[in-house]
């Protein structure tokens, strides 16, 4: 009987995407997957797909189920909100526990053999333990970031929580010397009650007990950090990049948008921007996107628009309906036309395209795209590395400044965009200069292609990620498939 893994992502796009891609890889080996979405995200995905889709396709080895986070549908889940975190830690947990209880009581076929959970949901290990199932932790960030948090007490002892204004952080094993601004934002803020800090720190104990820690990275890209992690946790496996193998199979395979993007679990409808990209010269377009969560002030968005206008370069800019934060810090759905500087649309109509959401992998793999102006989210970073696209990194929080350090200082395939003052708005003129430099820098482009080659070797037969993925599949295949007879009463 096939093994059956229940996969529970933290319910945001940046965890859903790599985990659905992992699910597809495991399903292709005959492993049955139950993929757990919140009902809120399920509805958003169905709406984004115009209710068409694979979400209930019986021929596919992936079964989609929903749990609830208990919040009203109009609650703004993209905002950094204590209420949202609390709902995930309590109501979502209880709902996921009920779901597993039902799967086990109903003796689903094949029986559940393990739980794979986002480490951002530290309770996933508790429910796996409760039902006596092996637990696999999915680490969604760079392994360098894991190394930072594993050495948090060292950072605190050195008086760098928050970091001292001057001096380098040069004592963390496996990491190059870092500027204080390279640390994750919650460490920079030095506030232990910060909800993001709480979520990140709470996941660490689960890592110690997991059967495996799987990570969307590539050994060769984070060699020393991986070695340090592996010393402490031999069960650590880098299995990235978690993107479909079709993106490594050469040109000419991705022409059909509907074929290349069939299993997308995007929370917004993907605009088909490929015909527009087809009309642009090679490597001439700057792709601009700040991921699924970042909120940027109205005045900064206006400066970005000015920068793109002044750069005189072609651009494809994703402006999510909730990208702009109001002065009060609340998310507002806006009509971007209302906030763009006067004359912007007219002046850029021949070289600019604005969309609310893009099929990002297809965009990054398009030959017309020459650079990625990004917030530096880990998935965006891994996707850009995998497709050989240099980056201009403009971090918006969490661990994005650490990712920027890797992109700019370690791999040397990107430029940094930041201000000397934390609260300062970056002006359009600076953005224009950087966008031009991004598209013109041939050396950076060459290094980006070398990084892509490294990644292709890692995922190719005999490569590091290929081996690790095979070991992981072998482990899942070896799990006992006997039925468990746990009743609701006996385990509560
Ligand atoms: N993404 C996308 N279309 C867009 C913007 C983003 O498909 O227009 C995807 C992107 O490919 C990535 C995810 O959304 O897989 C964003 O994750 P990331 O870690 O980069 O940033 P986050 O949203 O977590 O800040």
Mean pLDDT within 63-79: 88
In the reported structure, the alpha carbon of residue 379 is separated from the centroid of ligand 1 by a whole-number distance in angstroms of: 6
Is residue 485 assigned to a domain? Answer: no
Q: Which atom of ligand 1 is nearest to the CA of 380?
A: 20
Please report the pLDDT score of residue 253 as a whole number.
52
Please report the pLDDT score of residue 329 as a whole number.
44
User: Helix, strand or coil for residue 343?
Assistant: coil
Distance CA 381, CA 372 (A): 9
Burial of 211 (0-12, 13-18, 19+ CB in 10 A): middle
Helix 82-89, helix 195-202: angle, nearest 10: 30
| 48 compared with 329, residue with greater pLDDT | 48
Burial of 436 (0-12, 13-18, 19+ CB in 10 A): middle
Q: Which atom of ligand 1 is nearest to the CA of 357?
A: 8
Can you read off the two tokens belonging to residue 45? 């995905």
Residues 278, 412: one domain?
yes
Please report the pLDDT score of residue 310 as a whole number.
97
Distance CA 480, CA 488 (A): 21
Query: How many residues does the structure list for the chain?
Result: 492
User: Helix, strand or coil for residue 468?
Assistant: helix
Given a cut of 80, whether residue 54 has pLDDT beyond it is no
pLDDT tier at 48, thresholds 50, 70, 90: confident
Is residue 18 assigned to a domain? Answer: yes
Mean pLDDT within 279-305: 95
- 236, 230 Cβ separation under 8 angstroms: yes
DSSP string, 171-206: -STTS--B-GGGS-HHHHHT-TT-HHHHHHHHTHHH
Q: Which atom of ligand 1 is nearest to the CA of 320?
A: 8
In the reported structure, the alpha carbon of residue 243 is separated from the centroid of ligand 1 by a whole-number distance in angstroms of: 12
Please report the pLDDT score of residue 260 as a whole number.
46
Q: Which range, of 36-40, 204-208, 288-292, 359-363, averages the lowest pLDDT?
A: 204-208
Residues 289, 390: one domain?
yes
Instruction: Give Dmax (Cα) for the chain.
Output: 68
In the reported structure, the alpha carbon of residue 266 is separated from the centroid of ligand 1 by a whole-number distance in angstroms of: 9
Query: Taking CB atoms and a 6 Å cutoff, what residues make up the pocket around ligand 1?
Result: 12-14, 17, 266, 289, 291-294, 318, 357-358, 360, 377-380, 383
- 392, 315 Cβ separation under 8 angstroms: no
Q: What is the pTM of this model?
A: 0.94
Is residue 488 assigned to a domain? Answer: no
pLDDT tier at 57, thresholds 50, 70, 90: low
Residues 348, 373: one domain?
yes
Helix 123-130, helix 91-105: angle, nearest 10: 30
In the reported structure, the alpha carbon of residue 248 is separated from the centroid of ligand 1 by a whole-number distance in angstroms of: 19
Residues 219, 303: one domain?
no
Residues 446, 464: one domain?
no
Residue in 240, 280, 265 with CA at minimum distance from that of residue 140 = 240
Q: Which range, of 15-19, 56-60, 103-107, 467-471, averages the lowest pLDDT?
A: 56-60
Q: Which atom of ligand 1 is nearest to the CA of 292?
A: 23
pLDDT tier at 424, thresholds 50, 70, 90: confident
Residues 278, 388: one domain?
yes
In the reported structure, the alpha carbon of residue 98 is separated from the centroid of ligand 1 by a whole-number distance in angstroms of: 30
Residue-wise burial string across 331-366, b where 16 or more C-beta atoms lie within 10 A, e elsewhere: beebebeebbeeebeeebeebbbbbebbbbbbbbbb
Residues 182, 286: one domain?
no
- Taking the CA atoms of the chain, what radius of gyration do you get in angstroms? 22
Q: Which residue range is the domain that position 224 belongs to?
A: 4-244+460-478
Please report the pLDDT score of residue 58 as a whole number.
56
In the reported structure, the alpha carbon of residue 257 is separated from the centroid of ligand 1 by a whole-number distance in angstroms of: 18
Instruction: State phi, psi for 114 to the nearest 5 degrees.
Output: -165, 165
Q: Which range, of 214-223, 286-295, 473-482, averages the lowest pLDDT?
A: 473-482
314, containing H or E segment: strand 314-318
Burial of 181 (0-12, 13-18, 19+ CB in 10 A): middle
Domain CATH code at residue 153? 3.40.50.2000
Protein residue whose Cα sits closest to atom 6 of ligand 1 = 291
Percent of the chain with pLDDT over 70: 89
Residue in 208, 223, 200, 230 with CA at minimum distance from that of residue 140 = 200
Please report the pLDDT score of residue 423 as a whole number.
61
Q: Which atom of ligand 1 is nearest to the CA of 376?
A: 20
98, containing H or E segment: helix 91-105
Distance CA 152, CA 139 (A): 17
Residues 57, 205: one domain?
yes
Q: Which atom of ligand 1 is nearest to the CA of 355?
A: 8
In the reported structure, the alpha carbon of residue 102 is separated from the centroid of ligand 1 by a whole-number distance in angstroms of: 33
Is residue 155 assigned to a domain? Answer: yes
Distance CA 451, CA 186 (A): 29
Protein residue whose Cα sits closest to atom 5 of ligand 1 = 291
Residue in 263, 19, 265 with CA at minimum distance from that of residue 118 = 19
Please report the pLDDT score of residue 38 as a whole number.
97
DSSP string, 361-425: HHHHTSTTEEEEEE---HHHHHHHHHTT--EEE---STTHHHHHHIIIIIS--EEE---SSTTPP
C-alpha to C-alpha distances, 223 to 124, 220, 230, 321, 410, nearest whole angstrom: 28, 5, 10, 39, 11
Q: Please state, rounded to an integer, the average pLDDT across all residues of the chain.
A: 90
Mean pLDDT within 34-46: 94
Is residue 432 assigned to a domain? Answer: yes
Mutate to test the pocket of ligand 1, among 320, 375, 380, 401 (most ligand atoms within 8 A of CB): 380
Q: Where are the alpha helices (DSSP H) in 253-316?
A: 257-260, 274-278, 298-311
Q: Where are the alpha helices (DSSP H) in 279-391?
A: 298-311, 344-348, 360-364, 378-386
Number of domains in the chain: 2
Residues 375, 394: one domain?
yes
Distance CA 105, CA 256 (A): 43
Given a cut of 80, whether residue 245 has pLDDT beyond it is yes
Residues 29, 55: one domain?
yes
Given a cut of 60, whether residue 491 has pLDDT beyond it is no
Residues 329, 359: one domain?
yes
Mutate to test the pocket of ligand 1, among 9, 10, 14 (most ligand atoms within 8 A of CB): 14
Those residues whose C-beta lies under 8 Å from the C-beta of residue 333, and which sit 6 or more positions away, are 321, 322
Instruction: State phi, psi for 479 to the nearest 5 degrees.
Output: -70, 145
| 166 compared with 40, residue with greater pLDDT | 40
DSSP string, 115-178: EEEETTSTHHHHHHHHTT--EEEEE-S-HHHHHHHHTHHHHHHTT-SSPPSSS-B--STTS--B
Taking only the tens place, the pLDDT of each residue in 312-326 is 999 999 999 888 876
Residues 474, 448: one domain?
no
In the reported structure, the alpha carbon of residue 129 is separated from the centroid of ligand 1 by a whole-number distance in angstroms of: 32
Is residue 117 assigned to a domain? Answer: yes
In the reported structure, the alpha carbon of residue 308 is separated from the centroid of ligand 1 by a whole-number distance in angstroms of: 21
In the reported structure, the alpha carbon of residue 376 is separated from the centroid of ligand 1 by a whole-number distance in angstroms of: 10
Is residue 258 assigned to a domain? Answer: no
Is residue 265 assigned to a domain? Answer: no
Q: Which atom of ligand 1 is nearest to the CA of 318?
A: 8
What is the number of H-type helices and E-type strands within the chain?
A: 22, 15
């Amino acid at each position: 009987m096939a093994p059956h893994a229940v996969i529970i992502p933290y319910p945001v796009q940046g965890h859903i995407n790599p985990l659905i891609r992992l699910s597809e890889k495991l399903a292709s080996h005959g492993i049955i997957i139950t993929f757990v979405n919140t009902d809120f995200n399920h509805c958003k995905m169905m709406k984004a797909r115009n209710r068409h889709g694979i979400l209930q396709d019986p021929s596919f080895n992936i079964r989609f189920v929903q749990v609830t986070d208990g919040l009203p549908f109009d609650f703004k889940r993209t905002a950094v909100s204590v209420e949202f975190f609390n709902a995930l830690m309590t109501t979502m947990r209880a709902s996921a526990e009920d779901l597993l209880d039902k799967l086990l009581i109903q003796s689903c076929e094949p029986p559940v053999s393990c739980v794979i959970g986002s480490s951002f949901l530290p309770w996933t290990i508790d429910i796996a333990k409760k039902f006596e199932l092996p637990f696999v932790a999915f680490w969604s960030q760079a392994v360098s970031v894991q190394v930072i948090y594993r050495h948090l007490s060292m950072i605190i002892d050195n008086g760098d929580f928050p970091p001292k204004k001057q001096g380098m952080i040069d004592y963390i094993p496996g990491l190059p010397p870092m500027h204080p601004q390279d640390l994750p934002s919650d460490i920079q803020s030095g506030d232990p009650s910060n909800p993001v800090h709480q979520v990140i720190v709470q996941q660490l104990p689960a890592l110690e007990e997991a059967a495996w820690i799987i990570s969307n990275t590539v050994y060769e890209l984070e060699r020393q950090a991986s070695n340090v992690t592996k010393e402490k946790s031999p069960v650590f496996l880098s299995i990235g990049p978690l993107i479909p193998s079709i993106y490594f199979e050469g040109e000419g395979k991705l022409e059909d948008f509907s074929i290349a993007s069939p299993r997308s679990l995007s929370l917004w409808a993907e605009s088909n921007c490929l015909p527009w990209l087809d009309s642009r010269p090679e490597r001439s377009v700057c792709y601009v996107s700040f991921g699924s969560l970042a909120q940027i002030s109205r005045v900064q968005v206006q400066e970005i628009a000015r920068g793109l206008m002044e750069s005189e370069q072609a651009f494809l800019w994703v402006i999510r309906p909730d990208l702009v934060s109001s002065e009060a810090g609340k998310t507002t759905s806006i009509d971007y036309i209302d906030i763009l500087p006067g004359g912007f649309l007219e002046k850029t109509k021949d070289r600019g395209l604005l969309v609310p959401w893009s099929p990002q992998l297809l965009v990054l793999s398009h030959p017309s795209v020459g650079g990625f102006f990004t917030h530096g989210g880990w998935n965006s970073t891994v996707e850009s590395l995998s497709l050989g696209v240099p980056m201009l990194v403009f971090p918006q929080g969490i661990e994005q400044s650490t990712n920027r350090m890797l992109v700019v200082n370690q791999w040397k395939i990107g430029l940094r965009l930041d201000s000397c003052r934390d609260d300062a708005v970056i002006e359009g003129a600076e953005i224009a200069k950087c966008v031009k430099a991004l598209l013109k820098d041939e050396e950076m482009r060459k290094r980006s292609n070398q990084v892509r080659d490294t990644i292709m070797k890692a995922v190719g037969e005999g490569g590091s990620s290929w081996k690790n993925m095979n070991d992981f599949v072998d482990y899942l295949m070896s799990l006992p498939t006997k039925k468990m007879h746990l009743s609701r009463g006996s385990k509560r």
